[in-house]
Structure 1
Amino acid sequence: MLCSACMKKKKVGLYLDAGPACGGTYQYNHLMLEALMQLPASEYEPVVFYGSPHWQSLLEKNQIRGQLIQVPKIWQKMAGLWRRLKFPLSFWHHFAKWGHPLARAMLKEQCSLWIFPSQDAYAYLMPVPSLAAVHDLMHRYETRFPEVGAKKEYARREYHYQNTCKWAKGILVDSPLGKEQAMESYQITANACHVLPYIANRYIVQIRPSIDFDQKYSLPKKYLFYPAQFWQHKNHENLLKAVAICRQTIPDIQLVLVGSPKNHYQQVIELIKELKLEANVHILGLVDEQDIPEFYRRARALIMPTFFGPTNIPPLEAFALECPVAISDIYGMKSQLGDAALFFNPLDVKQISETINLLWLDDSLGAELKNKGKTHHENKGFSQFNVHFQKIMEDVLFKKYRT
């Protein structure tokens, strides 16, 4: 219960700094924006800044007042140099107050809290009280992947998360396991670490594909779907090997891949040729945001052999769009999805192929997974997310006044 002293309306800011190419981080920015705008207007006044011009049309469409703050390259370079040299951030905060355009704009708003959902450095570079997201700490738990475990990248991430956890007023994590890992890694107190489980964005069910969808993509009538940037940890390699096994008994097996080229893209292309899967695998690159839901709707199933967790957003999107799900049995995935998905060992190509066979051939299983996924989505949707979010706002802003 909140006492009368803390009932004064609080101004809360949100900084959006991720575009569609950022995958799950971009989806999380959407969730934060929706949740912020649903806070009781009698208690909260939202302020939205954005660093990517992509957000302007979305904010205007939803009649949300936002301000574009583009940081000059000179300030970006100075901040990068400051971090590389590991100068004290307390000095940077004092310096930024007087010249950094984003810092000055944020201070001018006099918000009680700024939310940073993109895992960006502004969560600790800006001299404002912050609530910062830590989506995963896989650089500590999956060091075999160079995109997170290479020496320089590991050091960069360690500096980033150490300072995020040191300077932020609160930390947002995706799951109890995410909280456990954050506390274990950076000695965060339990009260400062807040679990806010991912959900599918509401807009993913509402938006419709572009008029020329069929002309743009020419999708097969029946296919498995994997939306993922081509990082090594996304495990396209074992998925392709599994598809090659399945093709021996299912010659018309089809797999559709969408996502930006990353460090493992060329190896994926070469493996497709080596396995002679050119007629079975369709790589469409980064597709339009409004078209992604239609890929789920038409897919036989989502197949996701990732090595990263603790949890993930795509299976929740699939649930919302009544698309069956099969995913890696890693970290917190079973806790997140329960019995609404099939699980497999992402290292076991044979097990992945057996899962694909089930998804492709068993219509009754597909129908069962659709129903379970739909129920999961309905039981853990936006209303529940908003309740959690508002509770976190109260804890971060008012906890010292609680009675």
Structure 2
Amino acid sequence: MRVGILTLSSQDSGGVYQYTITLLESFSKYLKDKYEFIQIKNTSFPKMLDNCIEIKHSKSNFNLKIRRLIHTFTGIKLGDILENYNHPEIENTDLIISPSITLLPYHMKKPYIVTIHDFQQEYYPEFFTLKERISRKIVYKTGQKANVVVCESEYVKKDIIKFLKVPEKKIFVIPSPPPLYIQHKKLEEHKYEEYRLKYDLPNRYLFYPAQFWYHKNHINLIKAIKLLEDKYGETINLILVGSKKNNFDNVMKEIQNLGLQNQVKYLGYVPDEDMPYLYKLSTALVMPTLFESVSIPIWEAFYLGVPVVSSNVCALPEQVGNAGLLFDPYNIEDMAEKIYKIWIDEELRKTLVRKGYERIKDFTLENYAKEWEKIMRGVLYNE
């Protein structure tokens, strides 16, 4: 079987990029002797498979985009909409896998599997421009035509049925395991102090790794940090990492307005190899997001033995289970109360760490590859 894998996300796309990396790693490590994989990449995605095709898009190719949209809506094919994809390696594939939603699999005229990560535009349209909302509405049609749709939670599965009317039998829930750099990182205790000094980390802190989108809810978290000081007399440090997106300036201003410059620190870009140390040195991971299908940092925290205090929205209660504390991300007092509880209670933290490990122990790359192999064979061989 020849399987083409579309790797079209960029590093600043966050979770989707990491999801794609993990998928490729699992296939390369556990399935490469059974199947011939072909990576179909854009110019920004790294080459990860030996058999790799790089597709170069022209930014000015407006007509190509228009033809794709017309074909999606009407079924009328205006010329060759796959001008840049007429490669013999692609023509000879038996199956296309798209780890993120895109129109391309539909136009390739091959059986295909697509992953849908969320329907945030349906719940928070105000977070998207009109152009983005229209684009998502069109692109998500790919899911309706897919042979199989993969998602990472029952919450998203219900949304796929609700918004796309995809039959339940075509949807498979396969959570992605923690990234390889987390799973295979051997932490050396004598280096903990080295990393603490490198990033000038306080002795205790909450850790929040997230891009600065509005829905990541940094501002309510910062207000909760202030409330903890005012109401509980507890000075809690917060370490932030993540790309500077559309809410970054507002977050920095709020830190200044509340006088929290000495408690809240933004580290900027942190290399993957350093991230496990930032987790392990923290007192807890905090996840205050307003919308999340599945949180990769929560899996990472469970794997590394870090307690979790999280928002109770979307799929997060399903993901966290009994292995973390949950709060209402709109309720600053509730957020502060749950943070305070995990901050002061060492026995609670130890209990949550044990439960987190139980949640994550079977989430291995090998098991992940096996689940994907089942659905690939189901598409091609009706097994």
What TM-score results when the alignment is normalised by the length of structure 2?
Answer: 0.90
Name the residue aligned to 1:386: 369
Could you tell me the percent identity over the aligned residues? Answer: 29
Name the residue aligned to 1:181: 159
Shift of 1:67: 2.0
Of 141, 156, 173, the match for 2:123: 141
Name the residue aligned to 1:7: none
Shift of 1:123: 3.1
Q: Distance in 2 between matches of 1:246 and 1:190?
A: 45
Question: Is residue 34 of structure 1 aligned with residue 25 of structure 2?
Answer: yes
CA contact (8 A) 2:144 2:165 kept: no
Of 199, 204, 207, the match for 1:217: 199
Q: Distance in 2 between matches of 1:106 and 1:91?
A: 26
Q: Distance in 1 between matches of 2:271 and 2:73?
A: 42
Measured at CA, do residues 105 and 358 of structure 1 come closer, stay the same or move farther in structure 2, by a change above 3 Å? farther
Alignment of 1:195-206 (within 5 A): 195-206=173-184
> How many correspondences in the alignment?
378
Secondary structure in 1 matching 2:361: helix
What TM-score results when the alignment is normalised by the length of structure 1?
Answer: 0.85
Question: Is residue 48 of structure 1 aligned with residue 30 of structure 2?
Answer: no
Measured at CA, do residues 152 and 292 of structure 1 come closer, stay the same or move farther in structure 2, by a change above 3 Å? same
Q: Distance in 2 between matches of 1:94 and 1:176?
A: 40
Shift of 1:113: 0.8
Shift of 1:344: 0.6
- AA aligned to 2:253 is E
Secondary structure in 2 matching 1:326: strand
Measured at CA, do residues 103 and 312 of structure 1 come closer, stay the same or move farther in structure 2, by a change above 3 Å? farther
Show CA shifts across 1:315-353 (max 9, x none).
Answer: 001111111111111122222221111111111100100
CA contact (8 A) 1:96 1:127 kept: no
Shift of 1:45: 1.9
Q: Distance in 1 between matches of 2:15 and 2:39?
A: 20
CA contact (8 A) 2:9 2:16 kept: yes
Of 293, 298, 306, the match for 1:315: 298
Runs of 4+ in 1 over 4 A off after TM superposition: 38-42, 83-94, 208-216
The farther-off stretch of 88-97 and 190-199 is 88-97
User: What are structure 1's unaligned runs of at least 5 residues?
Assistant: 1-9
Of 232, 236, 254, the match for 2:214: 232
Name the residue aligned to 2:137: 158
Q: Distance in 1 between matches of 2:11 and 2:260?
A: 28
Name the residue aligned to 1:245: 227
Shift of 1:68: 4.6
Q: Distance in 1 between matches of 2:245 and 2:44?
A: 23
Secondary structure in 2 matching 1:47: strand
Shift of 1:151: 2.8
Show CA shifts across 1:113-156 (max 9, x none).
Answer: 1111133343334443321111001111233x423xx4332111
Measured at CA, do residues 393 and 84 of structure 1 come closer, stay the same or move farther in structure 2, by a change above 3 Å? closer
- AA aligned to 1:302 is L
Shift of 1:11: 1.2
Name the residue aligned to 2:96: 114
Shift of 1:91: 5.0
User: What are structure 2's unaligned runs of at least 5 residues?
Assistant: none
